[in-house]
Structure 1
Amino acid sequence: MECLYFAAERCRSCTQLATAYEQQLRTKAEHCAGLLADFDSLRMLPPQASAESGFRNKAKMVVAGTSQNPTIGILDADGHGVDLRNCGICDPALRAAFGIIERFIIRLGLIPYDVPRRKGELKHVIITVNEAGALMVRWVLRTKKHFVALRDSLPEFLRALPQATVVSVNFLPEHKAVLEGPEEIVLTAAQTLPFTLNGVQMHLRPQGFFQTNTQIAAALYRQARLWIDDIAPASLWDLYSGVGGFALHCARPGRQVVGIETSDQAVQAARVSAAELGLDDIEFFSGDATEFAVQSQTAPEAVIVNPPRRGISAELADWLNDSAVSHVVYSSCNAKTLARDLQRMDNFRPVLGRVMDMFPQTDHYEVITLLERR
C-alpha cells in the first residue's frame, strides 16, 4: 500500500508500511509461533490475511487547527494537528465523510480544541462504518457550548450525509489523553449501528466496542464457531463478550450460553441482537468476568475469553485451570500475555491456533487458540 503521509513522514503509525504484505503476515505468524513455542501440542493453522488497505471500519480523528481551517487526523509531537483525511487504511466511506465533517465545522463555527493551550471545544470526531456503508458519527466536545448548534443542525447534516444512521455528542471535559468521556447524548432516533457478520446481526452503541477490521472480525467469529460446534458443548460462557459476537455466533438450540461484559451499553446491544435472532437459550449480564466465574456455583462445558491486551487475570486463569471446564477458546490481541496465561493454565493443552491479521501495516495481530483439558 502506498501512502503519501508515510512517505512525507507526516504519519508513521503504520510502522510496517514499507514491508510487503506477504512478508508482514509471515513475520507475524513466526512471531506468534516463537512466543508459543513451549507448547508442543499446539498446531498453528495458516494465518488469516486481511485486505491491505481500506480495512478499518472506525476512524478516531483528532480535530485541531481553527474553525475556518480545521485539521482532521492526529497531533504531531508539539500537539499541533496533522490532517489525515485521506488515510489509506480507512474504509472509503469514512474518507468520503471527512469533507462533510469539515464543512460543518466551518459552517457552525465549531472551535477545535488546542491541546498545548488547553482551549477550545471540539476534540475528536469518531466515525464507524458497517458492512453496508451506514455510519455512526460521534462529536466529542469539551463542554456543551456547541451542543445546541450540533443538535439543531442535525436535519441538514443528515441531508448532507444520509449514510449517517447514528449521530451523537460525547462530552470530555478533562484535559487528558483519552478519546471520549462518560456522558453521551444520541441525537438520532436510531440508537445503534447494526453489523451483520456471517448472517448474525449485532448492534453497536456509541460507547460500545467492536473489532476495527470487519473482514477479520467475521473470520474470527467463524473460526470460534467452527471449534465450538465441533466440541458441541451443552453450556458455554463468553467472557469479555462485548456486543456478543462470539456468543451469538455460537448459540444453538438447547445450548445454554451466557455472555459477561463490563459495559452496560454493550450488554444492552447484545440483548437486542439475541431477541431479534429469536435465541431463547442465551443471556447477557453486566459484570466483571473474573468475579462472575469465581463466584459461580457451577461451570460450563466450554468458555470463550476475549480479554484486552493485559490478558485474563491470574485469578481467572487459576479458576479455569481448576474448574470442570473441558475446553477454552482464547482470542487474544497480545500473544505475550496469551503465552503467560497458557503457562498458568497447565491443566489445559493448546491444540489449535491461528493468527488473524486484524491490524495490517503494523506489528500487531490477533491470535485465537483452542485449549482442551488434559
Structure 2
Amino acid sequence: MIADFSHREHTLAKQKLEIPVHVGDDVELEVESLASSGDGVTHHHGYTLFVPHTLPQDRVKARITKTTKRFGVTRVIKRLHSTPDRVDAPCAVFPECGGCKIQDWDYSKQMEFKVRQVQDALAHVGGLNVAVGIDPVPADQPLHYRNKANYAIEKRGKKPSIGFYRQGTHHVVDHVECHTLMEPITAIKEWLRGLIESHSLSIYNERRHTGFLRGLVVRHSAATGEALVGLVTTHGEFSRKFMDDLTDEARLKSFGIQGVIHNINRSKTNVILGHENITLWGQDFFREKLGELEFHLSLPSFFQINPYQSVKLYGIVQSWVEGTDGSVLDAYCGNGGISLWLAKAGCEVVGIDSAASNIEDAEQSAHLNGITTCRFLNMPLERAFQLKEELAAVKTVVLDPPRKGCSQEVVTGILEMKPDRIIYVSCNPATLARDLALMQGYAVRAIKVIDMFPQTQHVETAVLLERE
C-alpha cells in the first residue's frame, strides 16, 4: 500500500508540473489584468502567461517565447480585440522604448491599477488587513512632468542614437521627443545632438570599452526656468572647436542653462555618473523651486522627478505632522526636500543621508531659504540610531527609502526609538508592505497613492502609522 501511495503522489506531482504550451506555439488569449511590471497577465489551461504590450480586456493571438515551471512569456502577433480603455499614445517610439508601458491606457484606469497594486501588496506580501481606504492622488499634468533626463548614446551607422535603453537591453531607442519630459529638456538635447554630430564626437562602445562620449544629463526647473547640463565621458578632453560651440553664452542663456558639467566615468559599468566633475562653463548647480522653497541642486543630487506631484506629497506629509509634539527625523532625506518643507512649516527637523553630495545640497538650500531649524547629518541611517541625544526629541519619523526598502537594522532602530508616528513614503509597494508588516505596535491610519510617474507602472505611496 505504501508503494502504491508513493507512486500515485509521484504521478500527481508530474501532472502538476506539466506545462500546456511549448515555445513557438500560437494561442489566442484574453488579457485578465496587469502585473506590477506593467505587462498583461492571463491564464491558459490554468498556466500563467505574461503578454507584454497589452491591456486588460485585450484579446490577442500570441506566440509562446519562454516557459518556466511557474509561468510563460508571449509575444503578440495580432491584436484581435482592443479594450475600450485604450487611448492613442502620443509618443512616436511607444511601445518600443518601454519607459512608459501604460501610456496607451486611459488615465483613470492607470490610477485604479496603481491603487490595486498597493492593495494587493499589503494583502499578499505584508499579510495585512488594513482598515483604512487608499486615497488616489492623480496628476493634474500627466505629460511633460519629468524634470531630469539621463540620455544614453550609441553609435549606429554614421550618426549617434540618443535616447533611452529599450527595456531589458542596452539598445538605445533614438527619439526626438519624450512626452513625459519637460519640453525645454528636449530642446537642449536636440541642440547638443547637433553639436555632437557636427563635431563627429567619438561615441563610447560599452562592449569594447572604447570611445569617449557616454551620455547626457539634462536637468530643468519649470519654476525658475534654470537648467544644468552634464556630458558624461570616459577619460579625456573635448576639442577646442567643440568647446567654443558648446560654451556659446548667448545660446546657453537662451536655454536657461546655468552650468555645463563634464562628468568623467572611467568604469566598466552601467552606472550613469562617475565621481569626477569638472565645470566647463558657468556654475555647478541650478535652482529649483517648490512652493515658497528654493533648492540648490548639483548634477548628481537626488530630487523628486515630478515637481508638481512633489508639492502634493510634501503637503500630505505636512498635514500629518501639523499640530504634533516633538521634532522630526527625516530618514533618507536626500537633498532635504521634505526636511526643509517641514522646517518651513515650523518643525524642528534632523535630516540624515549617506550621500555627501545630497547633504551639501540640503545645507545650501537651508541657507538659501534662511532656515535654521534643520540639522543635516551625513551618515548611514543604521549608524544614526546610536546618536541617542541627537534624536531624543524625535516624535515623528519620516522614511523615504530606496526601492529595496528598509534594512532590518533600520526597522529595529525605529521601533526602539518608539516615535508617536511613522510616515513611510515608498516607490515600491512590495517592500512597503514587507516593512509595514514589521512595524509591530503601529497601526495604519492613512494611505495615499500619489501618481509621481504618470504613463508608467511605477507607484508612489505615502502611509501614516501611529503607535497603538
TM-score using structure 2 length: 0.74
Which of 173, 177, 180 matches 2:273? 180
Deviation at 1:164, TM superposition (A): 0.8
Alignment-derived partner of residue 40 in structure 1 = 130
Matches within 5 A, 1:222-241: 222-230=315-323, 232-241=324-333
Alignment-derived partner of residue 54 in structure 1 = 144
- 2:113 pairs with 1:19: no
- 2:455 pairs with 1:364: no
Q: Which moved more, 1:30-39 or 1:216-225?
A: 30-39
Tell me the secondary structure at the aligned position of residue 162 of structure 2.
strand
Alignment-derived partner of residue 89 in structure 1 = 180
Contact kept in structure 1, 2:195 and 2:246, CA below 8 Å: no
Matched to 2:416, the amino acid is D
Tell me the secondary structure at the aligned position of residue 136 of structure 2.
coil
Distance in 2, matches of 1:252 and 1:214, equals 17
Alignment-derived partner of residue 82 in structure 2 = none
Which of 54, 79, 92 matches 1:4? 92
Matched to 2:204, the amino acid is Y
Which structure's relative contact order is higher, taking Cα pairs within 8 Å and 6+ residues apart? 1
C-alpha change, 1:201 and 1:314, in structure 2 (3 Å) is same
- 2:358 pairs with 1:266: yes
Structure 1: 5+ residue stretches without partners: none
Deviation string 1:139-180 (CA, Å, 9 cap, x unpaired) is 000112327666555531662554111210111112221111
Alignment-derived partner of residue 146 in structure 1 = 238
Deviation at 1:246, TM superposition (A): 0.5
Tell me the secondary structure at the aligned position of residue 365 of structure 2.
helix
Distance in 2, matches of 1:288 and 1:150, equals 41
Contact kept in structure 1, 2:188 and 2:255, CA below 8 Å: no
- 2:450 pairs with 1:353: no
Deviation at 1:42, TM superposition (A): 3.3
Contact kept in structure 1, 2:260 and 2:282, CA below 8 Å: no
Q: Which moved more, 1:308-317 or 1:101-110?
A: 101-110
Deviation at 1:337, TM superposition (A): 0.6
Deviation at 1:41, TM superposition (A): 3.7
Deviation at 1:131, TM superposition (A): 2.0
Alignment-derived partner of residue 321 in structure 1 = 415
Contact kept in structure 2, 1:169 and 1:187, CA below 8 Å: yes
Deviation at 1:17, TM superposition (A): 1.9
- 2:289 pairs with 1:201: no
- 2:381 pairs with 1:285: no
- 2:430 pairs with 1:336: yes
Which of 263, 276, 301 matches 2:395? 301
Percent identity between matched residues is: 28
Tell me the secondary structure at the aligned position of residue 251 of structure 1.
helix
Q: Which moved more, 1:20-29 or 1:294-303?
A: 294-303
Contact kept in structure 2, 1:198 and 1:222, CA below 8 Å: no
Q: Which moved more, 1:74-83 or 1:123-132?
A: 74-83
Deviation at 1:221, TM superposition (A): 1.0
Contact kept in structure 2, 1:121 and 1:146, CA below 8 Å: no
Contact kept in structure 2, 1:147 and 1:169, CA below 8 Å: no
Distance in 2, matches of 1:150 and 1:63, equals 18
Q: Which moved more, 1:85-94 or 1:325-334?
A: 85-94
Matched to 2:367, the amino acid is A
Deviation at 1:95, TM superposition (A): 1.1
C-alpha change, 1:150 and 1:245, in structure 2 (3 Å) is farther
4+ long deviations beyond 4 Å: 75-80, 147-154
Alignment-derived partner of residue 115 in structure 2 = 29
- 2:196 pairs with 1:105: yes
Contact kept in structure 1, 2:136 and 2:450, CA below 8 Å: no
- 2:337 pairs with 1:249: no
Deviation string 1:98-125 (CA, Å, 9 cap, x unpaired) is 2210122134332111233432110100
Structure 2: 5+ residue stretches without partners: 1-88
Deviation string 1:194-240 (CA, Å, 9 cap, x unpaired) is 1111211111111111111111112111111111114x233111111
Deviation at 1:18, TM superposition (A): 2.3
Contact kept in structure 1, 2:226 and 2:288, CA below 8 Å: no
Which of 192, 201, 218 matches 2:311? 218
Deviation at 1:190, TM superposition (A): 2.5
Q: Which moved more, 1:276-285 or 1:63-72?
A: 63-72
Distance in 2, matches of 1:40 and 1:79, equals 41
Contact kept in structure 1, 2:111 and 2:136, CA below 8 Å: no
Deviation string 1:24-47 (CA, Å, 9 cap, x unpaired) is 111111221222242434332233
Contact kept in structure 1, 2:334 and 2:353, CA below 8 Å: yes
C-alpha change, 1:142 and 1:158, in structure 2 (3 Å) is farther
Distance in 2, matches of 1:292 and 1:52, equals 38
